[in-house]
A and B are shown apart, each in its own frame.
Chain A
Amino acid sequence: MGARNSPLGWLRQSFPVDGEVLREMSSEPIPNHLKRWWYALGGTPAYLFIVLAATGISLTFYYRPSPEVAYESVGRITNEIRFGWLIRSVHHWAANLMVLSVILHVIRVFFTRAYRKPRELNWMFGVGILIVIFTFGFTGYSLVYEQLSYWAAVVGTNIAEATPIVGPYLATFMRGGVDITSNTLTRMFVLHIGVLPTVIVILLGLHIVQIRLHGVSIPDGEAKKDAGKTFPFFPNHLMTELVIGLSLTILLVVLALIAPAPLGEPANPNVTPEHIKPEWYFFAMFRWLKLTSFKVGVLGTMGFVGIFLFWPFIDRLIERAFPGKGVAMWIGVLGVLTLIAFTIWEAFV
């Protein structure tokens, strides 16, 4: 049998890709500073995304997106389906860790100024991913249809309603009417399992393509230390990612065992809970909205998101106005401290 007729030959014929190119792609030299764990936070969300997709698909086998049976189906997953509690708890904790790791990744990118030219667009893709992840969180816990889900949906859509000009239309679209009904739940479900995954896959793809096109940015300090030294992606960096993946899997399983995903009281539109609190990553925004009027709160949030999205360009303007003063850095410190302070404030009130 000639080489062209062997299974390998057939495969090469079907996928006419140069092996050398593949080898080169997988052996991309990685800048030496990535040997430090702090710089591996970008891979963590990627791994968690795979976990979330796998557990999410498993949950979809049993979840039923209708107000009459949604809560009951989550209860069934938790109490009756084999390993249902594990899958749901891993999904719950992976989602929380995803939010945490992305926030840490953004902070790292911000303070190492990795968004500078020519990577402005990649920063914007990253901010887009962050917004999508928050939306994932919001739609995800709405699906449980417990009291928190229902009243979070009420508050969330009321916030959307306060958006200038388009607010009422946006809220009506989100709810599928004037109230939270089965239409709302169906919309949350479609967003959570269809629209958002598609959007995040596109954004992640663009984010990674950008990294490959521009290479990993080298922070000022690190550049001096490592002076252009690199190490191969395979096996060195892949092993680092494997260590992170294994550690995260252990962490997720342990968290699922000691703190399984909670299931509160079923949604009751007639009973407003004494304390409505969203998930922890919305605490800062929630506190901000409590401090201001709804309109000011929403406008302020929109302004914050706008500044955040276009930060690479704003940073350049600040640098031009105050060269070498580190003003942008101090604005970042102030922003992070404010977010932490608001989060803690909301958590303890």
Chain B
Amino acid sequence: MESVKFKQVVIAILGFILLGAFVVVGYVESMRRIPDAKPRIVVSAENEKCLNCHEQQSNARTVAQQWRESTHAKRGVGCLECHEAEASDADSFTHYTETIATVVTPGDCSRCHPAEFEQFQRSHHADAGNILGSLDNVLAEVIEGHMPVVHGKRLASPAAVSGCKQCHGSVVTPLLDENGDKTYRDSGVLVLDHNTWPNTGIGRLNPDGTKGSCAACHNRHYFSAAQAREPDDCGKCHLGPDHPQYEIYRESKHGINFIAHKDKMNLDAQPWIVGEDYVAAPTCASCHMSATPNQPVTHDVGERISWTLRPPISEKVDAVALKQGKDVMPWKERRANMTDVCVQCHSQQFVGSFYKQYDDLVNLYNDKFGRPATDIIKSLKSNDLITGDIAFDDKIEWTYFYLWHHEGRRARMGAAMMGPDYTQWHGMFEVADRFYMEFVPEAREAVEHGRESGKQAGADAAQDVIDKIMARDEHLWIQGKMSDEERAAREAASDAFRKRYAGSE
């Protein structure tokens, strides 16, 4: 073996190599995400001043703590980076030495997140605040609520303020006094109109002219991407009798898998790519927004939706825009985008067949109930058999509303998101019940009532519309006009069923 001196040189060289190996280890460790580790946060001198006061106050202590755990805090994005405002801003005020605004708008967020801002502003979410004049708006402001004029000013409807607008968004405005001047608290803080704020509706109309609220999904002050990927996050608004997407998801295989394997969802990953960062289940975000190996994340939630399931008669999602001459992403491209998400877990054949099932159900609803009911309502209105200018003053208008707005949507959304019970029992069954047992009898009643009131021609015209619809093949059963073959086939099936389960002949 070699001399002592040679060994000393070898030891020195090995020592350096070992040091290098430890440097690599240190780098690998620093790149690793440690779930429970306290983040190192960056607080600027200006933000330190905010925290010094607000962390002592009970009304903002939790907010500051939430911020301290956020990615913003780790990246040095503090209070002023978001709340800082120009003196010319409609909602700005001077708070000690700083000019700030209470409401942080997508415009503020766009300073660091321009791509997300641009995607969101063109999305359907951003337009959710434009519901003035819609039937939902009439319900909240006129039928459920009341908006009297007091001292020359029309008051807001509490039903709309606490209901619709909390999801759709308000028009945020400062509170004005009798002279039309802005009002301030003793601390100098601008007071916002309580009918418009607090509000984190997704289509909020902000004082700076931007639409929406990033906090609708990324709750302040955590601003967590992981939270926005949770189905519960969307469930604040997408639930209930008229659009139970959250409940349908929970009922679907997707939702069942999510709940069973939530611990494997890696919701904190960046980027969060289906098939790479997680495989257990998709959430709402996975399908509608998040990245795939082929698509980046998008904040335009409509880019993967091919049907609109909201109106009385479903159309492809680009239909209205095309009628208005707008240049929008074609529905086939949107469906291809969604298919790209689906095929991360399913085969092309599986996805193709699913879409066939879904299209068939939407077409069934449209053709058998949605379009006929709409034609009948239009005929009753145009023939002056029910009032055309006041919504919901005729019983049949309520019946029609339930049929498409509640039950019809449930059926279509159930098919879209694979919630069979919503498609059947909460959906098509109730649509059929409403159509045959209430809507058509009420339409005939309106016709009769019109005839009795001397509106003979209108009654005949509406009668003709109803009769032609009810004479179609798919509605003959209720009049006992089934063909002999079909009657025999139904009776045979019924006998077989009775024998199978009841044992009776």
Contact = CB atoms under 8 A, between A and B. Distances in A.
Contacts of B34: 80-82
A42 to B, nearest CB: 15
A36 interface: yes
Contact of A82 (B17, B22, B24, B29): B29
A246 B14 contact: yes
Interface string B1-29: 10010011011001101100110110011
Contacts of B178: none
Nearest to A246: B14
Interface in B21-54: 21-22, 24-25, 28-29, 32, 34-37
Interface string A29-53: 0000011110000000000000000
Contacts of B21: 250, 253-254, 257
A235 interface: yes
Given A80-B35, A86-B29, A239 B14 contact: no
Contact of B14 (A34, A236, A247, A257): A247
Contacts of A239: 4, 7-8, 11
A243 interface: yes
A249 interface: yes
A246 B7 contact: no
Contacts of B10: 243
A80 B15 CA distance: 29
Contact of A253 (B22, B32, B37): B22
Nearest to B5: A239
B4 A236 contact: yes
Interface in A9-24: none
Contacts of B25: 83, 86, 253, 256-257
Contacts of B7: 236, 239-240, 242-243
Contacts of A235: 4
**Residue of B15, B21, B36, B37 with most partner-chain A CB within 10 A:** B21
Interface in A220-252: 235-236, 239-240, 242-243, 246-247, 249-250
Contacts of B24: 253, 257
Contact of A83 (B14, B17, B29): B29
Interface residues of B, number: 21
B1 A37 contact: yes
Interface string A72-85: 00000001111101
B22 A246 contact: no
A35 B34 CA distance: 47
Interface string A119-144: 00000000000000000000000000
A90 to B, nearest CB: 10
Contact of B1 (A35, A81, A86, A257): A35
Given A35-B1, A82-B29, A239-B4, A246 B36 contact: no
Interface in A73-109: 79-83, 85-86
B17 A250 contact: yes
Interface in B232-264: none
Nearest to B13: A246
A247 B21 CA distance: 12
A236 B2 CA distance: 9
A103 to B, nearest CB: 23
A37 B21 CA distance: 24
Nearest to A85: B32
A242 B4 CA distance: 12
A242 B32 CA distance: 32
Contacts of A254: 21
Nearest to A235: B4
A256 B32 CA distance: 15
Contacts of A257: 21, 24-25, 28
Interface of B: 1, 4, 7-8, 10-11, 14-15, 17-18, 21-22, 24-25, 28-29, 32, 34-37
Interface of A: 34-37, 79-83, 85-86, 235-236, 239-240, 242-243, 246-247, 249-250, 253-254, 256-257
13 contacts: A36-B1, A80-B35, A86-B25, A236-B4, A239-B7, A240-B7, A243-B11, A243-B14, A246-B14, A249-B18, A250-B21, A253-B25, A256-B25
Given A37-B1, A82-B29, 10 more contacts: A36-B1, A79-B35, A80-B36, A83-B29, A86-B29, A242-B7, A243-B10, A246-B11, A253-B22, A257-B25
- 10 closest A-B pairs by beta carbon, nearest first, are A35-B1, A246-B14, A239-B7, A253-B21, A250-B18, A243-B10, A250-B17, A80-B35, A250-B21, A242-B11
